Amino acid sequence: RIGPYVCAEWNFGGFPVWLKYVPGISFRTDNEPFKIAMQGFTDKIVSLMKSHNLFESQGGPIILSQIENEYGRERALFGQAGYNYMTWAANMALSTQTGVPWVMCKDTAAPDPIINSCNGFYCHQFTPNRPYKPKLWTEAWSGWFTEFGGPHHQRPVQDLAFAVAR
């Protein structure tokens, strides 16, 4: 998962905190200051990974890359600006030419050739957003994130095994 948004389980979603001080920035939408920062970060990470031959296309172990994470619900909230951002993020990711497929989790509008994938406790009813794309389960949730000072949530291993077997 290259980013830029990692997930709710990371402080500030995995974004560097200094980003909130960028004038005019609005996160995860069609916003130039955010897209400039996102592209710079993604290009830097991909360049670093390429320099170490980490992608399968270079003989490395990485077979998939992910851009954005669980954006579908947020995309809907942003309306057209969310759709524009999602499309831009997909095209920006593809422009890095990693030589491996890109995925977007939980976004049925992910444009070709980006693969929509499932994150969740259960993915047996998940279908890809196009019939010719593979069915991928990229996060099998074994619990729920722990808030500071909160209880530690664990999923019974039997339920996890059942979900995978389905």
Whether the Cβ atoms of residue 107 and residue 136 lie closer than 8 Å to each other: no
Is 68 one of the catalytic residues?
Answer: no
Active-site entry in 32, 56, 70, 147: 70
Token output for 30: 């069609």
In 23-94 the beta strands, taken as DSSP E runs, fall at 65-66
What number of CA atoms fall less than 13 Å from residue 89's CA on the CB side? 34
Say how far apart CA 138 and CA 37 lie, in whole Å: 26
Active-site entry in 32, 74, 139, 147: 139
- Closest to 24 in 3D by CA, of 32, 15, 16, 13: 32
Say how far apart CA 151 and CA 132 lie, in whole Å: 42
Is 70 one of the catalytic residues?
Answer: yes
Task: Classify residue 96 by burial, with Cβ atoms within 10 Å: 0-12, 13-18, 19+.
Answer: buried
Residues labelled catalytic: 70, 139
